Each structure stands twice: as C-alpha cells, then as structure tokens.
C-alpha cells in the first residue's frame, strides 16, 4: 500500500494520479472526509488523520509499504513554527513505530542549512528528525523542491489589477529555481516505485526546466492574461506590513521575511555535490495558463 499524506495538496494529488495510472494501491490521507471523495472515485483507500496526533498518523500507516510524508506550514496559525515542529515530532513518533520499506519526505531547497532560512529551517528540522530512520528496514528519500510556481497565485489578482507584480526576489534580474507542483508529485511517485534503488538514504533535488527572474514571471503573466504587467521590487522595509495585510500572522510573516533574505543572499539552492538532481518539464507558462481563468474571474463584493 502506498500511503500519501497531504493528498489534497497539489503535490499529493499529482503523486496519487501517477501511482493510480501505474495500477498501484493507494491510501490517500486527508484531514476532512469531504477531501477524500475525489480519491475514493479514483479507487483509493481514504484515511482521515490529524498530523498533530501521532496515534492518528500511526493508524493511517497500517499496512504501508511506501509512504509520502508532508508536514505543511500551517496557514493562519499565530505560532506556525511551533505547530509545524509539533507535527514533525508526531510524524516521527508514528514512523518509528511503523517504519515503511520506503519513506519519501517532501522537503525544500536549502534544507541543508540549520538556521536563518525562515520556513526552510523547519524542513531542516524535518530532515534531521527523519534521518535516523534510514537503514536496513527503511529507505529514506528526501525530496527537496525549488520554490513552487503556484506560489505566484497569491499576488496574481493584485498584479492583474494594478499592472505591477510585487516581488520579494531582489534584484529583479536575479535568477532563481522554481518548479511545478505536478512535476514534484510525478517525480515522487517515480521514486516511491523505484525498486532498483538500494541506498538507505537518497537526497534528491528537483526544479523546473529553466531558472527565471521576476521580469520573466511578469512577462509570462502578461502573456497568459493579455494584460500588461511589469515586475516591481517590493521594498525590504515594506515586506512585513504587506504580508500582514495579506492575512499572515506575525510569526508566519517573519518566516517569509527570513526566507527571502536567505534567498536574496544566495543561500537557498541545491546542496552542491550532494545527491541527485532532476528537472521537471512543466513551464511557468503552462502553470499560469491553467490558473488564469480563476485569476481573471470577477471577485464577489459586498453590496
């Protein structure tokens, strides 16, 4: 049984689709029952689990031979770092109790760095907690992904309305790696079913077919929407206030600020000379084209 945590996310859905196409038995783990309905229609077993509860996670792991684990950054949480660390601890306890033959953990570029990287620092903690599981009973795969292309969805409405794409990537011509969620999920499914691999620990990095800068992103958005959009460097002293206005808690905003400080300093990248490097095939234009109908849809206003 292939057990996929975070099934309702973009990566989880792509992994499940690939595994089902290959005829593999899949258990989709979700938090709420209604999230499981599409997976049941695909022929998946569906399990409910609270990622903060090790007993709940352990129950979802029963009979698992391969597991894809995701510990998401909690949205709207006033203390996201504490909450995510608690989820990682709960998952680690459950996986120690029921170690699968293959465990793939979704991680981030820069996870090799212990501190000073904001959200990515939490993926370092995830990797550190899981590495002792790698051994004769479990093959551990740490799948480090570049920044997801879908992250630009958050600022698309404002960019389309104003013609300016605010960027925390400084300077605007700095090229950075990015990747489509479907490429991460598809690669994850391939790694989970790779019977030829025998190393107890595999560190795998994945990014898209080409690196981009903020000007490229704005140009692709212009082409996809048919509206003129130019990249704008969001001033560093405006980051926190902007993130708070977007609905993030102070703790979450600080994690984002620290992340982009590290990004702009050149610290968030592939760990040189370590592990395997893969490249997805999905272009930024394909991702933007898929979400554009929703981005352009008129938003409801209060009368």
Better-predicted residue by pLDDT, 25 or 71: 25
pTM score, two decimals?
Answer: 0.94
Domain boundaries, the chain: 2-148+180-207+268-279
The topology (CATH level 3) of 2-148+180-207+268-279 is Rossmann fold (3.40.50)
Q: Distance between alpha carbon 152 and the CA centroid of its chain, in Å?
A: 13
Beta bridge partners of 166: 232
Tell me how far apart the alpha carbons of residues 149 and 178 are, in angstroms, rounded to a whole number. 6
Could you tell me what percent of the chain has a pLDDT over 70?
A: 98
pLDDT for the residue numbered 301 = 43
Q: Which two tokens stand for residue 220?
A: 């692709």
Q: Which residues of 213-251 are buried (b: 16+ CB within 10 A; e: fewer)?
A: bbbbbbbbbbebbeeebbbbebeeeebeebbeeeebbee
pLDDT for the residue numbered 136 = 82
Identify the residue whose tokens are 């903690």. 125
pLDDT for the residue numbered 303 = 39
Q: What is the helix (H) or strand (E) element at residue 54, kind and residue range?
A: helix 54-60
Segment 208-223 shows an average pLDDT of 98
Handedness of CA 263, 205, 252, 10 (dihedral sign): positive
pLDDT for the residue numbered 278 = 98
């Amino acid at each position: 049984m292939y057990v996929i945590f975070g099934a309702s996310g973009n990566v989880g859905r792509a992994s499940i689709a690939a595994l089902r196409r290959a005829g593999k038995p899949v258990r989709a783990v979700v938090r709420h029952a209604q999230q499981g309905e599409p997976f049941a229609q695909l022929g998946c077993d569906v399990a409910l689990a609270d990622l903060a509860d090790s007993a709940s996670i352990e129950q979802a792991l029963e009979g698992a031979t391969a597991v894809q684990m995701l510990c998401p950054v909690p949205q709207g949480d006033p203390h996201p770092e504490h909450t995510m660390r608690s989820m990682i601890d709960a998952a680690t306890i459950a996986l120690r109790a029921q170690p699968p033959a293959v465990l793939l953990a979704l991680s981030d570029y820069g996870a090799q760095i212990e501190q000073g990287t904001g959200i990515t620092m939490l993926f370092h903690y995830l990797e550190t907690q899981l590495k002792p599981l790698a051994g004769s009973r479990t093959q551990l795969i740490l799948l480090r992904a570049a920044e997801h292309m879908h992250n630009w969805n958050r600022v698309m409405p404002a960019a389309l309305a104003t013609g300016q794409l605010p960027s925390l990537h400084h300077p605007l011509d700095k090229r950075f790696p990015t990747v489509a969620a479907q490429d991460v999920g598809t690669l994850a499914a391939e790694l989970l079913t790779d019977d030829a691999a025998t190393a107890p620990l595999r560190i795998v990095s994945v990014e898209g077919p080409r690196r981009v800068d903020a000007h490229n992103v704005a140009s692709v958005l212009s082409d996809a929407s048919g509206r003129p959009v130019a990249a704008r460097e969001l001033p560093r002293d405006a980051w926190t206030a902007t993130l708070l206005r977007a609905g993030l808690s102070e703790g979450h905003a600080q994690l984002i600020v620290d992340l982009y400080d590290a990004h702009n300093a050149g610290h968030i990248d592939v760990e040189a000379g370590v592990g395997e490097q893969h490249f997805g095939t999905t272009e930024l234009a394909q991702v933007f084209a898929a979400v554009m109908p929703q981005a352009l849809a008129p938003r409801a206003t209060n009368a």
